[in-house]
Amino acid sequence: MNLRKWAIGLISTALLSAPITTALAEEADTTSGASQTSEWYADPATLKESYDIVIIGAGGGGMAAAITAQEAGADVAIFEKMPIAGGNTSKSSGGMNASETKFQKEQGIEDSNDLFYEDTLEGGKGTNDPELLRYMVDHSAEAIDWLDSIGITLNNITFSGGASVKRIHRPEDGSAVGGYLVEGLLRNIHEKEIPLFVNSEVTKINETDGRVSGVNVTVEGEEKTINAKAVIIATGGFGGNLEMVSEIKPELEGFVTTNHEGATGDGIRMAEELGAAVVDMDQIQIHPTVEQSTSYLVTESVRGDGGILVNQQGERFTDELLTRDKVSANIIALPEKYAYIIADQRLKESVTAINQYEEKGIVTKAETIEELAEKLEIPAENLKATLDTWNEAVKNQEDKDFGRTTGMEYDLSHAPYYAIKIAPGIHHTMGGLKIDTETHVLREDGTAIEGLFGAGEVTGQVHGSNRIGGNAVADIIVFGRQAGNIASEYVKQ
């Protein structure tokens, strides 16, 4: 493959085109130390007429599926409509939930697949598909091992909203998972010479004699029909399609979105054209902590590692580690409809994502609590009293005010202090294509569309009506791998 030559072409295209430059800039901002290397993308001249498996979308789900399918012996290609790989996965700011992992065991964290299942079901208000959820939790440790085996090590574990034990696995340095994961998956795609075509939008999935037979794809502006024995849809959600969101849920009109611009629901539309069933389309998650001027998401780890939320009066108003829907509702119920996340120096050193927020210019820093209050125009005596009470609660391991029980290992007493103003934003679409545990895309009557598989945010019902932080990455890796394996078995038949 002539990857290097193509790389130079892509970089110059990127520099010449404003929207592409913006996308690259955003990517650089949202990934922690990830260097998106364009030389990892395939030259369109190397595109073949047919593959065993075509994968639509190069987010975490699509790339995990591609690597797994190739390991299983299939000839695969990935089409990505954006100029870069990564999708919403790149923006994933927290980590990956997994239970009974070797890293938890090494660190003396007691967890079980059953507890992971229960926490997720509770978070999803009991509406998760029990079989899909069971499959995800039971294969989560294996997914952590698989990632580790391909050089993606998630061994820094902390609390996250809705989890009763430390379960969210992050890169060793505590940085956001997204950039690290995407970079690691891309490195594997490159090393294993899996062709990943960017600027390649799939517009239709084709069927012949009742079986999926390939796709129509526009590669660098040129329309092609590519044959495939199987197609894996890994196109992500529709949280970037504000029209679709507000059509389905009018009350979300006007909300900012944390989604990348390619999250437009294409996979759902294309599969529906083949008779696929959709589930829970109105289950759209808003994330409580989004900086509104940049739509930049402040990771749940800031709260999981000890951060608190205060209102404009400088008072706490919620258990900060309730599930996202509840924390969001508590913020929206405030007269000002926004809040501040408060952190200290120790927390900043633990959650290095805060450095990125500082670079983005969304962090207020102060040497004392009084100075912080002044900068935020909060009554200083209130903020001081709130922090004193909170630090006392941490010391006694008892939050009398809001009953918080997790993320209370460290108090907030190390200057300087930091604050980020946040409010909820559209984050994740929990509904989507109906699949079974083998990732077959199903029709309304429960039968599978032959040769069609789906994984990741494009699918529905894994998370029920509220996704727990850390479960999107678990979902894409577990089901991405499963789609890769099952589709490979299918094409060998």
Please tell me the distance from the alpha carbon of residue 429 to that of residue 265, in angstroms, as a whole number: 10
**CB under 8 Å to 353, separation ≥6 — which residues?**
32, 93, 174, 175, 176, 298, 299, 301, 302
- Binding ligand ADP (rule: CB under 6 A), the pick from 80, 183, 319, 411 is 80
Beta strand pairing call for 284-291 and 296-297: antiparallel
Q: Report CA-CA distances (Å) from 219 to 40, 226, 236, 332.
A: 16, 11, 19, 43
Please tell me the distance from the alpha carbon of residue 190 to that of residue 196, in angstroms, as a whole number: 9
The DSSP call for residue 299 is: P
Q: Is 81 in the site for ligand ADP (CB under 6 A)?
A: yes
Residue 394 dihedral angles phi and psi, to the nearest 5°: -65, -45
Q: Is 417 in the site for ligand ADP (CB under 6 A)?
A: no
Asked if 178 and 92 count as a contact pair (C-beta separation under 8 A), the reply is yes
Q: Is 456 in the site for ligand ADP (CB under 6 A)?
A: yes
Kindly indicate which of the ranges 52-60, 134-142, 159-167, 290-298 contains the residues binding ligand ADP, using the contact rule CB under 6 A: 52-60
Q: Closest separation between CB of residue 458 and ligand ADP, Å? A: 6
Q: Is 235 in the site for ligand ADP (CB under 6 A)?
A: yes
Q: ω before 250 within 30° of 0 (cis)?
A: no
Assigned token pair, 93: 């700011």
Tell me whether residue 89 or residue 213 sits nearer to ligand ADP (CB atom): 89
Give me the 258-277 binding string for ligand ADP, x by CB under 6 A, dash otherwise. ----xx--xx----------
Q: Closest separation between CB of residue 225 and ligand ADP, Å? A: 14
Tell me whether residue 57 or residue 95 sits nearer to ligand ADP (CB atom): 57
**Set 170, 303, 316, 324: catalytic member:** 324
Q: Closest separation between CB of residue 438 and ligand ADP, Å? A: 17
- Binding ligand ADP (rule: CB under 6 A), the pick from 79, 116, 340, 490 is 79
- Binding ligand ADP (rule: CB under 6 A), the pick from 137, 457, 468, 485 is 457
By beta-carbon distance, which residue lies closest to ligand ADP?
59
Residues 19-48 that bind ligand ADP (CB under 6 A): none
Residues 53-72 that bind ligand ADP (CB under 6 A): 56-62
Kindly indicate which of the ranges 231-239, 373-381, 385-393, 432-440 contains the residues binding ligand ADP, using the contact rule CB under 6 A: 231-239
Residues 184-213 that bind ligand ADP (CB under 6 A): 201-202
Distance of alpha carbon 397 from the chain centroid: 31
Residue 187: active-site member: no
Assigned token pair, 81: 């409509």
Q: Is 87 in the site for ligand ADP (CB under 6 A)?
A: yes
Asked if 38 and 216 count as a contact pair (C-beta separation under 8 A), the reply is no
Q: Is 460 in the site for ligand ADP (CB under 6 A)?
A: no
Q: Report CA-CA distances (Å) from 363 to 43, 74, 257, 382, 419.
A: 41, 47, 20, 20, 6
Please tell me the distance from the alpha carbon of residue 203 to that of residue 189, in angstroms, as a whole number: 23
Which residues carry out catalysis? Answer: 324
The footprint of ligand ADP (CB under 6 A) covers: 56-62, 79-82, 87-89, 201-202, 234-236, 262-263, 266-267, 456-458, 476
